[in-house]
Amino acid sequence: MGVLSNHPFVKMNGLGNEIVVVDMRPNPNPITATDARSAAAGVRYDQLMAIYPARTTDADALVCIFNNDGSEAGACGNGMRCVADILFKESRKTSLVLEIRTGLLKCWQGATPLTCTVDMGVPRFGWDEIPLAKAFSDTRRIDLAVGPSDRPTLHSPSVANMGNPHAIFWVDDIDAYDLGEIGPLLESHPVFPDRANISLARVVTREHLMVRTWERGAGLTRACGSAACAALVCASRTGRAERKAIVKLPGGDLAVEWRSDDRVLMTGPVEYEFEGRFDPALFASAEPAR
């Protein structure tokens, strides 16, 4: 029987990015990939955010992030805002430090209800930091294409690690491509040993981007916070945009700023949907952790 059997949860979303939050602090048992997949079979989510006791005095809580295929994610900006809003209400603090697999993230309560700013950290651009399977001297534009070699459908993405690996394809129309077909092929392309989030991005103005994303381990999503951040930093790095912009996603807008200290701030809203408990039947036939 999985550790999430009959466990309470809160269903939320960040701009349509489907988030389930579970508080594991009272009984901090680890969640397995099987647990996460079984939970997703009962309550649709893109990411499951599990709150654990902080492992360091510098943090308010530890957050483990799971995709709906059971894999762990390195970051989820929309999910972090959901967790932060819950902890803001609980603690009555206006700022928090949350620990994730890739480090510490600071969150600030927004000026309006249900909004939050998350410090998403410092982007990484080295081929071995993203990581890529082979060396590229310039990750602003790598040799990767979809379609015939003489007339590729998509080509030359910018790549970066923004907590997760990201590939950004620059296009004139983000809706002109079947991302549901292209996304899974590129997510698992051999050049991405840890898989990657695949985004289509359009530069509307130097302070306005439009982005659609296929998330590794989750699929098509209405919003991906780390992809919005990756798109902004890659647009700025390639001279397409300023270091501060509104990023429009299918689910709504995020404000993203790549500060002079190299840290990336993301601001946006969250929404509460409902609370419940996971049906024990979802976990009755789950395989034991290996």
- Any idea where the domains of the chain sit in the sequence? 8-117+271-282, 145-262
Residue 94 bridge partners (DSSP):
none
12-35 residue pLDDT tens: 999 999 999 999 999 999 999 999
**Where residue 289 falls among pLDDT bands split at 50, 70, 90?**
very low
**Angle at CA of residue 161, ends 156 and 167, nearest 5°:** 25
Burial 59-75 (b: 16+ CB within 10 A, else e): bbbbbbbbbbebbebbb
- H helices present in the chain, as ranges: 33-42, 77-91, 179-187, 225-237
41-64 residue pLDDT tens: 999 999 999 999 999 999 999 999
Report the chain's mean pLDDT, rounded to a whole number: 95
Supply the pLDDT for residue 286.
Answer: 56
Half-sphere exposure of 136 (CA within 13 A, CB side): 22
Task: Single out the residue of 29, 74, 24 nearest to residue 50, CA to CA.
Answer: 24
Task: Single out the residue of 216, 224, 199 nearest to residue 68, CA to CA.
Answer: 216
CATH class entry, domain 8-117+271-282: alpha beta
Yes or no: domain 145-262 corresponds to CATH 3.40.720.10: no
Enter the tokens of residue 136. 């590229």
Question: Mean of the pLDDT values across residues 102-112?
Answer: 93
Let me know if 224 is a catalytic residue: yes
229-258 residue pLDDT tens: 999 999 999 999 999 999 999 999 999 999
- Strand pairing category for 95-100 and 61-67: parallel
Question: Mean of the pLDDT values across residues 251-280?
Answer: 97
Question: Mean of the pLDDT values across residues 212-225?
Answer: 96
Let me know if 76 is a catalytic residue: yes
pTM: 0.93
Task: Single out the residue of 158, 187, 153 nearest to residue 172, CA to CA.
Answer: 153
Query: Does residue 288 register a pLDDT over 60?
Result: no
Domains 8-117+271-282 and 145-262 share a fold: yes
Single out the catalytic residue among 82, 107, 116, 224: 224
**Residues 6 or more apart whose Cβ sits within 8 Å of residue 260:** 243
- Distance from C-alpha of 284 to C-alpha of 288, rounded to nearest angstrom: 10
Instruction: Say if residue 193 is preceded by a cis peptide, omega within 30 of 0.
Output: no
- Distance from C-alpha of 208 to C-alpha of 159, rounded to nearest angstrom: 19
150-207 residue pLDDT tens: 888 999 999 999 999 999 999 999 999 999 999 999 999 999 999 999 999 999 999 9
**Residues 6 or more apart whose Cβ sits within 8 Å of residue 290:** none
Single out the catalytic residue among 64, 76, 229, 234: 76
| % of the chain surpassing 90 pLDDT | 93
